[in-house]
Amino acid sequence: MYENLLDRFLTYVKINTRSDENSTTTPSTPSQTEFALNILKPEMERIGLVDVHYLEHNGYIVGTLPTNGEGFKHTIGYISHIDTADFNAENIAPQVIENYDGGDIALGSSGYSLSPKDFPSLNNYKGQTLITTDGTTLLGADDKSGIAEIMTAVEYLASHPEIEHGEIRVGFGPDEEIGVGANKFDVEDFNVDFAYTIDGGPLGELQYETFSAAAAELRFIGRNVHPGTAKDSMINALQLAIDFHNQLPAGERPEHTEGYEGFYHLHGLGGTVDEATSSYIIRDFEDEAFENRKAEMEKIAAKMNAELGEERVILTLHDQYYNMKKVIEKDMTPINIAKSVMENLDIKPIIEPIRGGTDGSKISFMGIPTPNIFAGGENMHGRFEYVSLQTMEKAVDVIIGISTFKEKK
């Protein structure tokens, strides 16, 4: 139905736009700026968007499709991120599997394969067109599927002026995967009533609850003494890191939690006897539970320092984002519209919490309620990533449906 969707997506994913968490620039990598200016900007102008502009201070490329009808109450935004995750993104060579037969899919000559035995989600896509990796890179459907879907929807509306729609604003930004992309989001420039991130997974996802999130960085200061004469004098910083970790609830880790259950996640650990560091992310849905988790880490650090008789466990905590439900539940209009559109398209809305976050988490608290809608990706962030073309087409349908939706008086 959307003849440019597949080619557009394949063009986008072949360009490496991986972000870099160690960078201090915005965007974190030059390739994201180049993608915005050299790929997206001319294409946005070509398909009919106006006032297309790149914001130097935050790395967003923004454009507008003016309304062509009356009776539309809202200006609506659509947002997707340009960057891809921390997996090989160089020389991406996507495979297009037409009429998937339900069996194993060899990922190029890499020796890897996609199998329903390992990834049962494949059973949902028999007979569809799948786009996969060649086994050596990620695909980048997170979130170039979202960009392709927004661009295709806008192109369709612009080329069909007989279809009335409200005013639409689109924004494509950097560095979502490293958690800083929306920090400098310009609410005044975007100027919409509400928005949607097109950044979800399988068909039907409609999400307005996320984790609240914090990061914990720990530094352990040891005392290195020759192990042969270490009794009562050595303080092993690596052992301090282990001792700290062992005092956290063993069952409250990502591998043991689901649904609304929060967790502590150790994702970095290193050092020597003399000094060690560890890094955690803290996640929970409810405010009290979220605060209790941070307080528990502070309690463990204080206890260890008291036992050591001096400060050798140094904890630094900082909040990253908050559960956007607190904002969106005050006015469920964007959820109700998206839900109605999906149901009219015979798509079953899957309204479940995100065990993670989106740029919409931060943007919602900045003043623009921004829930999340499916973009189609499966197994994201690695070599087993894939997406269904038919699901991407459905995402385009939803974007068009929302844009043309008139609320009853």
Q: Is the distance from CB of 297 to CB of 247 less than 8 angstroms? A: no
Q: Which two tokens stand for residue 217?
A: 């960085």
**Which position among 134, 155, 176, 385 bears the catalytic label?**
176
Q: Start-end ranges of CATH 3.30.70.360 in the chain?
A: 212-321
Residue 184 sits at φ, ψ, to 5 deg, of -110, 20
Mean pLDDT value across residues 1-6: 92
Q: Where are the alpha helices (DSSP H) in 197-283?
A: 237-246
User: Is 267 flagged in the annotation as binding?
Assistant: no
CA-wise closest residue to 146 among 99, 181, 193: 181
CA-wise closest residue to 363 among 168, 181, 92, 117: 181
pLDDT band at 409 (very low <50, low <70, confident <90, very high): low
Q: What is the pLDDT of residue 367?
A: 97
Residue with token string 């200006």: 75
Q: Does domain 4-209+323-404 have CATH number 3.40.630.10?
A: yes
CA distance 350 to 339: 9
Strand, helix or coil at 3? coil
Q: Start-end ranges of CATH 3.40.630.10 in the chain?
A: 4-209+323-404
Mean pLDDT value across residues 275-297: 97
DSSP 37: I
Angle between helices 5-13 and 389-403 (to 10 degrees): 110
Instruction: Render pLDDT for 219-233 as a digit per residue (tens, 0 to 9).
Output: 999 999 999 999 999
Q: Which two tokens stand for residue 9?
A: 């997506």
User: Is 143 flagged in the annotation as binding?
Assistant: no
Number of Cβ within a 10 Å radius of residue 115: 14
Q: Is the distance from CB of 120 to CB of 378 less than 8 angstroms? A: no
User: Is 81 flagged in the annotation as binding?
Assistant: yes
Indicate whether 358 pLDDT > 90: no
Q: What is the pLDDT of residue 274?
A: 98
Task: Please state, in angstroms and as integers, the Cα–Cα distance from residue 350 to each residue in 284, 314, 343, 353, 376, following that order.
Answer: 20, 42, 11, 10, 13
CA distance 222 to 275: 5
Known catalytic membership, residue 45: no
Known catalytic membership, residue 287: no
Indicate whether 40 pLDDT > 80: yes
Mean pLDDT value across residues 52-76: 97
Mean pLDDT value across residues 393-397: 98
Q: What is the pLDDT of residue 405?
A: 97
Mean pLDDT value across residues 25-33: 97
Instruction: Render pLDDT for 229-258 as a digit per residue (tens, 0 to 9).
Output: 999 999 999 999 999 999 999 999 999 999
User: Is 165 flagged in the annotation as binding?
Assistant: no
Instruction: Render pLDDT for 301-352 as a digit per residue (tens, 0 to 9).
Output: 999 999 999 999 999 999 999 999 999 999 999 999 999 999 999 999 999 9
Mean pLDDT value across residues 134-159: 98
User: Is 252 flagged in the annotation as binding?
Assistant: no
CA angle 381–357–289, rounded 5-degree value: 130
Report the percent of the chain where pLDDT is more than 70.
100
**Which position among 43, 83, 205, 252 bears the catalytic label?**
83
Strand, helix or coil at 55? coil
Q: Does domain 212-321 have CATH number 3.40.50.2300?
A: no
Q: What is the pLDDT of residue 1?
A: 78
Q: Is the distance from CB of 74 to CB of 104 less than 8 angstroms? A: no
Angle between helices 5-13 and 141-159 (to 10 degrees): 140
